[in-house]
Structure 1
Amino acid sequence: MLIGFALVILLGALLLTLPISSRSGQWTNPLDALFTATSATCVTGLIVVDTYLHWSVFGQIVILLLIQTGGLGFMTLATMFSFFFRRTISLSERLTMMQSLGVDEMAGVVRLTKHILVGTLIFEGTGAVILSIRFASDFGWKDGIFKGIFHSISAFCNAGFDLMGQRSAFSSLTAYSGDIVVNVVIMLLIIIGGLGFIVWEDVYHQRSFKKLRVYSKLVLVFTAVLVVGGALLLAVFEWNNPAIMDSLDGKGKGLAFLFQSVTTRTAGFNTIEQSAMTSPSVLLSMILMFIGGSSGSTAGGVKTVTMGVVLLAVFYVARGRRNIEVLGRRVSYDDVLRAVAVVVIAIVLVVTSIFVISMVEPFSLRDIAYECVSAFATVGISMGITPQLTALSKLILIFLMFAGRLGILTITFTIAMKLAKRRDDVRYPETKLMIG
């Protein structure tokens, strides 16, 4: 899986360096091409050159294909070709699909993949039609249809790449901050893509919240709480901020707060200028980015259920309880350890990156922290400093995007298995330590 993603990124970077990929017909800097390919494949959205102004239609199509590959996973797309050519899917391929989709059982994994492909086509297709009609009134049918398809796929895959540079470079969707159609369609695509394929399958078959598995219930509840709670807090922090809100009426403000809360769940589009937000809103956005979406989805971050398990563990430890229970079920000890490991490793990785970049860059700690969290959580919203970073800082962000998309545990376990020398079944006597 690690090698597969790396190969896709390198192939994309190679194509993007070619003169045919740029509007100017010139070769693109290899590091900028690698950064863009990584950002697209890892469905992040951080950019060092404006997607519309720098890349040709060919380059934009390459980016779109990388987004789709990264969003669904190359194993899902490989399975699609197996269906198309009626080829039998081997046992090893099924095992890899299990890992890619984050499921525990091999039974039904092929059926789940089929449903993912069909669901993706329906959601992205519907979004593309609506957005194409809306954009056609601004850009004409030819350009409007291409923009509709591009933004629908980018939103569903939680990538955040946009083609609005012809209005203003690096402007994202700020020109549509008060547009209900664009905001609602993009938000729905982001949320659906961020819920995860397993939750789709569960909702499709059960059709009732009570019948859903515990994991699906937690995802839906946490998502609703984070989106609504985030929007309300942003309203408190930004309602009277003239730098952002002076041009918006009450409806526009509500849309802006809701969109910002949704997009920080790893999407990367923005309808308000990030650098103009107050410090509390910046901190809140970083927290929402760090949490991210759900496991087995197109989203990044440490994931909603992971953070939920860690918070529940803290709550139960504070109450002197040993077992962690949720919705009538006990959370396994191994799951608690994995959740804590993910959060701790993520914090160490992000903080270390912030520390290193702050030593070589002249920008404020706030702006650097925002870029690092955005890269790790594969979000893509930015304070606008990414294009100005040095080569070292860009390489660090590339690593953060790669680690954030593949998953902390996937990379950690892969490295640990290579370095493991001691048998795991050897147990030493237990000891007590002073904690706290």
Structure 2
Amino acid sequence: MADAYEKNKVNPPKVLVLGLLSIIMIGTALLRLPLATVSGQPLSWIDALFTATSAVCVTGLVVVDTATTFSTFGQVVILTLIQIGGIGFMTFATFFAFLLGKRISLKDRLVLQQALNQNSIEGIVRLVLHILIYTIVIELAAGLILAARFAYEMPLGRAIWFGMFHAISNFNNAGFDLMGNFTSFTRYTEDPIITLVLGILIFLGGIGFLVLSELADYRHERRLSLHTKVVLTTTTTLVLVGMVFILLIEWNNPKSLAPLSPFGKLLAAFFQSITPRSGGTMTLPVAEFQQATIFLIIVLMFIGASPGSAGGGIKVTTFATLIGAVWAQAKGREDVVFFRQRIAPALIYKSLTVTLSGLFFLIIVSIILSITERNVPFLSILFETTSAFATVGLSLGLTGELSPIGRVIIALTMFIGRVGPLTIAIALAQRQQKEYFRYPKGNILIG
């Protein structure tokens, strides 16, 4: 594969980074237009840049209220940026090239391979077409259901817009909403239709397009890859474990679960466990949670969604691989085994690299923000940093209070969170230099 890179002189990481930066700059310019705001006054460059970055990186952190600040034009721009950022600009480019009858070159396939985090270019164009089909079907179906629900409390046209906006936002794990006053969906905490539809959208958008493709083909293929099995098992386990812990910790909290009915508590705990996958939408005021719950959400956000999805974080497969390695060591086994298949040592090293790189980055950014954002509790800073890095969008209320330098740092964190782990994976996937000798083996004490 490295020969292919050299032969075609294409650098997929550079293409992806420059492509995302270009879209962010275009989005910033559009959101700066007087037409984009309700008041007709242009946003500051920092606020426009922050909003565009948050939309393209499908994060959902906002420094101005989306519903009351932006006009319909501005909201359409944000929604377009979310859709492009969620499924990838290369996916759109490939689709339009396909419609125009143009040949998809090897260079394009190599970039698509990295953008979708695939191991090879085989079947990559077919996967792109499947991604577009699944996206349209899922977003349209969910949008119509939400529109029917919203139609009970607003005019039909507005209900359709609300339904489609929130379907696209949540399927792409973006977290932007039009509820107003930074309240998200807290007034729909016990509404099963809205809560379940949004939760399913976040789940489907977070498991990855390859998994969606295999699930759609399962009726004919009757088999699932190891990747899909690990993603589904780990994601479901994390959601259920998170739900149980939130119920236990918040059951008697008068500012969260205590006022709700038993069914409402289950519904709210389920949603708040699934949204850290990278969703960013909330049905409970996260800032009112107990500190233990807040820290649990930080951990869930850091783990994030699945490779090849709209979500961020170190990814559930990375987490599962590390847990498998720990379990193998505890059992005195040499191999990490999932579903009777052995995990290659290179993948374990890659998982360690991605995880430690993410941890080091979070530590550095949190320290810097602790200096720039004085008198802010460290837990709030860590929560905000993790939310930005994992492209989640949940906040304890700090985003709108950030200083100009703090907003730039968080915007940069969102961007690095969107492309950083991917870039690391690409670097590790490059052909390694052949070693003609090995150093003698040495021993150090561990633990």
Same-fold status (TM-score > 0.5): yes
Cα deviation, residue 360, structure 1: 2.1
Q: Work out whether residues 403 and 411 of structure 1, in 8 Å CA contact, stay in contact via their aligned partners in 2.
A: no
2:193 alignment partner in structure 1:
181
- AA in 1 matched with 2:387: S
Identify the range of structure 1 (286-295 vs 195-204) with the bigger mean alpha-carbon deviation.
195-204
| Distance in 2 between residues matched to 1:412 and 1:102, nearest whole Å | 8
Instruction: Tell me the secondary structure at the aligned position of residue 153 of structure 2.
Output: helix
Q: How does 1:264-343 map to 2 (within 5 A)?
A: 264-343=276-355
Cα deviation, residue 208, structure 1: 8.7
2:88 alignment partner in structure 1:
73
The one of 353, 359, 363 equivalent to 1:351 is 363
| Distance in 2 between residues matched to 1:326 and 1:414, nearest whole Å | 25
2:396 alignment partner in structure 1:
383
1:54 alignment partner in structure 2:
69
Q: Work out whether residues 209 and 217 of structure 1, in 8 Å CA contact, stay in contact via their aligned partners in 2.
A: no
Instruction: Tell me the secondary structure at the aligned position of residue 207 of structure 1.
Output: helix
The one of 168, 186, 194 equivalent to 1:153 is 168
| Distance in 1 between residues matched to 2:220 and 2:329, nearest whole Å | 33
Q: Does 1:143 align with 2:158?
A: yes
Deviations 1:252-290 (A, max 9, x none): 111110000011110000011111000111011111111
Q: Does 1:227 align with 2:239?
A: yes
| Distance in 2 between residues matched to 1:136 and 1:33, nearest whole Å | 31
* RMSD value, Cα: 1.9
Q: Work out whether residues 342 and 409 of structure 1, in 8 Å CA contact, stay in contact via their aligned partners in 2.
A: no
Instruction: Tell me the secondary structure at the aligned position of residue 138 of structure 1.
Output: coil
The one of 83, 91, 97 equivalent to 2:112 is 97
Cα deviation, residue 424, structure 1: 5.8
The one of 109, 127, 139 equivalent to 1:124 is 139
Instruction: Tell me the secondary structure at the aligned position of residue 244 of structure 1.
Output: coil
Instruction: Tell me the secondary structure at the aligned position of residue 60 of structure 2.
Output: coil
The one of 3, 14, 18 equivalent to 2:33 is 18
Cα deviation, residue 427, structure 1: 4.7
1:396 alignment partner in structure 2:
409
Deviations 1:155-199 (A, max 9, x none): 10000000000xxx1000001111111011101111111111111
Deviations 1:98-123 (A, max 9, x none): 11111122221111111110110000
| Distance in 1 between residues matched to 2:312 and 2:154, nearest whole Å | 32
The one of 376, 380, 385 equivalent to 1:372 is 385
Cα deviation, residue 246, structure 1: 4.2
Q: Structure 1 residues 70, 327: CA separation in 2 closer, same or farther (over 3 Å shift)? A: same
Q: Does 1:241 align with 2:253?
A: yes
| Distance in 2 between residues matched to 1:338 and 1:236, nearest whole Å | 35
Q: Work out whether residues 97 and 109 of structure 1, in 8 Å CA contact, stay in contact via their aligned partners in 2.
A: yes
| Distance in 2 between residues matched to 1:401 and 1:266, nearest whole Å | 12
Unaligned runs of 5+ residues in structure 1 are none
Q: Does 1:405 align with 2:415?
A: no
Unaligned runs of 5+ residues in structure 2 are 1-15
2:129 alignment partner in structure 1:
114
Q: Structure 1 residues 3, 385: CA separation in 2 closer, same or farther (over 3 Å shift)? A: same
- AA in 2 matched with 1:371: E
Deviations 1:201-239 (A, max 9, x none): 222223399721111001010111011111111000001
Cα deviation, residue 398, structure 1: 1.2
| Distance in 2 between residues matched to 1:141 and 1:371, nearest whole Å | 36
| Distance in 2 between residues matched to 1:236 and 1:245, nearest whole Å | 10
Aligned residues: 430
| Distance in 1 between residues matched to 2:282 and 2:359, nearest whole Å | 25
Instruction: Tell me the secondary structure at the aligned position of residue 75 of structure 1.
Output: helix
2:50 alignment partner in structure 1:
35
Q: How does 1:252-267 map to 2 (within 5 A)?
A: 252-267=264-279
TM-score normalised by length of structure 2 = 0.92
TM-score normalised by length of structure 1 = 0.95
Q: Name the % identity.
A: 40
- AA in 2 matched with 1:349: F
Cα deviation, residue 86, structure 1: 1.9
Cα deviation, residue 430, structure 1: 3.4
Cα deviation, residue 245, structure 1: 2.6
- AA in 1 matched with 2:18: I
Instruction: Tell me the secondary structure at the aligned position of residue 317 of structure 2.
Output: helix
- AA in 2 matched with 1:124: E
